[in-house]
Amino acid sequence: MMILDNVVVTDKFLEARFCCNLLRCKGECCVAGDAGAPLEPLEVGMIEENIEAIKPYMRKEGIMAIENNDVYDYDDFGNMVTPLVNDEECAFVYFHENGTALCAIEKAFLEGKTDFQKPISCHLYPIRLMEKDGFIHIVYHEWSVCVPAKKKGEKEGIPLYVFLKNPLIRRFGAYWYERLVKAINDKDF
């Protein structure tokens, strides 16, 4: 384990190998589960500001879900999350012709319609950030739907922290990420 600024980085996270394998999992992490993706308060505002640019990429069921409720909901612990369609997939999911679940928010971003990429919790998955005692804990969420990603990461030798380079930089900054990699390379933990 190491602590970098106020971020607790576990050995489990550092040792994990991972690489999303959408051909195998079909984006199941956006469909399965008992709640939507965690949202930070600022992200709710960003989704609200960009919703008209996002809607063209959404399914009608997702649009109905946000119009009947809002662009966010609460999980059982009172945390803001993306709303679900029929207590199943995220309201912002659309399906590729091969059945893969994809993100309408990210699609709008990739096509230059918005400057909001997607919720950071989605971008960082399979890790979750938990705040406790003034520290942010990086928690590696191991889930059966990600077994193909673990196998691919192990086969290709891709460390989870490398796979998540861009979202980690997005959340913690390039300087923090550079120091993380240096500490790992120096085995300074």
Residue 49 has pLDDT above 70, yes or no: yes
The CA-atom distances, in angstroms, between 79 and each of 35, 75, 138, 151 are: 10, 5, 18, 32
Lowest mean pLDDT among 22-26, 53-57, 131-135: 22-26
What was the pLDDT predicted at 188? Answer: 59
- Give SS3 for 112: coil
- The mean pLDDT of the chain is 94
pLDDT in tens, 134-164: 999 999 998 888 999 999 999 999 999 999 9
Residue 103's DSSP bridge partners are 93
How far out from the chain centre does Cα 171 lie? Answer: 11
Query: Phi, psi (5° rounding) for residue 68?
Result: -80, -25
Mean pLDDT of 7-27: 92
What was the pLDDT predicted at 24? Answer: 87
The CA-atom distances, in angstroms, between 6 and each of 10, 28, 122, 172 are: 13, 32, 22, 10
pLDDT in tens, 19-39: 998 888 899 888 887 889 999
Helix (H) or strand (E) holding 29: none
- State pTM to two decimals: 0.90
- Boundaries of every domain in the chain: 1-18+126-189, 38-117
